[in-house]
Structure 1
Amino acid sequence: MSEKNREGKRTARERMLAERAADEARAKRKKKLVVGGVVLAVIAAAVITGVVVQNERSKPETPTAAPAGTIGDKNLVVPVGAADAPSVLTVYEDPRCPACGSFEREFSPTIDQLEDAGKIGTQYHIVSFIDRAVPGKGSKTAANALACAQDAGHFRDYHDVLYRNQPDETNDAFGDKAVLISLAKQVDGLVTPAFEACVNENKYGGWVSAVQQDFDKSSFKSTPTVLLNGQPVYPKNGSQEITPQNLVEAVDAANQGKTLGSTGSHGQSPAPTSTASETNNPSPKAG
């Protein structure tokens, strides 16, 4: 074989090897691009999913049904007292909360009197977080029953009955719907087929969840949280330990020179929208 032919074959082999190396390099680059694209797509999907989940967590559930006469954004608040009362008492409570029970047993007669006199309208946020920490479902079940009582126009009286008969926090008696209906018999006119069906069918379960989600988004961390015209007053009003008597004094001071509200039967007329800004001040650790 001539030197020229050998040189030609060598050149052909080198060209073939070079082309093969180029093909392999292109294949590697393509593979990297495909893998990188898949990784980016997975990351993007994860980010999108995370944003959607976070958005879902941050949006209070919109209840499919709300009790009659409820007020505020998404109708999450139960109003009691005069719609035109000059002062607003805002109360966040859990039916299983022992500190709430203590507060109500001490203060509810005074609060009822203030409502009946047209001095305050009370806005109740019925939360249900204790079921998360203590086995049972009494917070949610009792909250639904309170919503049913609001529907029937007997919220205040039934609310007071529940707190007077509140079981120990670890006793889930309020998780038994029969117990809740039995206690409702202490309120004249409350127990009807409609009320019993409302309790037994958990009619306002979505509303109860929405109220709790709204509480979760606030800066309040404990119950009871009690505000007078947007300012915390329980367990202390400023530096002063709150009592029924000085609650009356605080209300009278806030109402000085103002016209009292007109009252409805048993304080069941709609409560006013707060005349003071109800800011999310950190709540006192009362329970």
Structure 2
Amino acid sequence: MSEKNREGKSTARERLAVERQKQKGAEKRRRALIVGASVVCVLALAAVVGVLAAGAGKDKKSTAAGPAVSPSGATGKDGLAIPVGKDGAKSTLTVWEDFRCPACESFETVYRPTIRQLVDAGQLKVEYHLVTLIDGNMGGSGSRHAANAAACAQDAGKFAAYHDVLYANQPKETEDTFADNGKLIELAGKVDGLVTPGFRACVDDGRHDSWVKKSNAAFQSSGFSGTPTVLLGGKNIYADQTMTPAKLKQLVQAENKG
């Protein structure tokens, strides 16, 4: 074999060796990339799972509701009624109401003088049930916040006065003004002696929120169609087109004579 041929074969072997070495290096890098990518995918998946788990925990915490705390003196099934008037009154008016409800405000404006007169005379007791119908229909949380604040006023023995102040200052149905606890506390200033540290804490903490939710659930399952629902002797007098304050007074006085 000539010297030239030997050099050619040697050069060919060297090139082949170099090429094989390059291929081995490339294969090693490819495997490293695959392993690295797998690790990254696992870590990314773990991160996503962690975020989802944390989010789920946060949602659970934010929507968790404690036990329903009834306001002081609440009566009826599950303590869902706030009574106004003497226990010995022969007539009971049951009112399901929403502080954001315009129809409730209209009813209060027209019937309040007569109702208060009958209550003061010991002939009528009113049981108020607070619901959040407008929150569900219009959005927002003003119905719930106002109901909680009213329950806090009941704890202070000033429900009736604060109840009237809320209706006298009711915002438009589309405005969620009562969602602002500061506004509710400001309005409470119109009731002598109501604004105390205890009342403020009760309003700001939403102490009776779960109770309000339970009251609203009772309304939803009752079959009533809307607010206000006003029952006298089990009959919805608000649905009676012939009803007037004078007629309500006659009905109550007749019950007291019976």
Alignment TM-score, normalising by the size of structure 1: 0.65
**Gap change, CA 1:221 and 1:199, over 3 Å in 2:** same
C-alpha contact 2:68 2:209 (8 A) present in aligned 1 = no
Quote how far apart the aligned CAs of 1:135 are: 2.4
CA RMSD of aligned residues (A): 1.4
Equivalent residue number for residue 179 of structure 1:
183
Equivalent residue number for residue 224 of structure 1:
228
Structure 1: stretches of 5+ with no match in the other structure = 1-60, 258-287
Structure 1 segments of 4+ aligned residues over 4 angstroms from their partners: none
Matched, 1:102 2:103: no
Residue-by-residue CA offset, 1:75-96 (whole Å, 9 max, x unaligned)? 1110110101000000000111
Equivalent residue number for residue 68 of structure 1:
72
Q: What pairs with 1:138-157 in structure 2 (closer than 5 Å)? A: 138-157=142-161
Equivalent residue number for residue 254 of structure 2:
253
Aligned residue among 230, 233, 237 for 1:233 = 237
Q: Distance in 2 between matches of 1:109 and 1:193?
A: 32
**Gap change, CA 1:63 and 1:79, over 3 Å in 2:** farther
C-alpha contact 1:88 1:120 (8 A) present in aligned 2 = yes
Residue-by-residue CA offset, 1:181-209 (whole Å, 9 max, x unaligned)? 11111111111010011001101111010
Q: Distance in 2 between matches of 1:64 and 1:175?
A: 20
Q: What pairs with 1:1-287 in structure 2 (closer than 5 Å)? A: 63-236=67-240, 241-257=242-258
Q: Distance in 2 between matches of 1:72 and 1:178?
A: 31
Secondary structure of 1:241's aligned partner:
coil
Quote how far apart the aligned CAs of 1:62 are: 8.7
Secondary structure of 1:115's aligned partner:
helix
Quote how far apart the aligned CAs of 1:128 are: 0.7
Q: Distance in 2 between matches of 1:131 and 1:64?
A: 19
Q: Write 1 or 2 for the structure with the bigger share of helix.
A: 2
Q: Distance in 2 between matches of 1:63 and 1:83?
A: 27
Q: Distance in 2 between matches of 1:64 and 1:178?
A: 23
**Gap change, CA 1:134 and 1:175, over 3 Å in 2:** same
Q: Distance in 2 between matches of 1:76 and 1:165?
A: 25
| Larger RCO: 1 or 2 (CA < 8 Å, sep 6+) | 1
Q: Distance in 2 between matches of 1:152 and 1:92?
A: 21
Residue 181 of structure 1 aligns with an amino acid whose one-letter code is I
Residue 91 of structure 1 aligns with an amino acid whose one-letter code is V
Identical pairs, percent: 52
Residue 205 of structure 1 aligns with an amino acid whose one-letter code is D
**Gap change, CA 1:137 and 1:152, over 3 Å in 2:** same
Alignment TM-score, normalising by the size of structure 2: 0.73
Quote how far apart the aligned CAs of 1:136 are: 1.3
C-alpha contact 2:188 2:194 (8 A) present in aligned 1 = yes
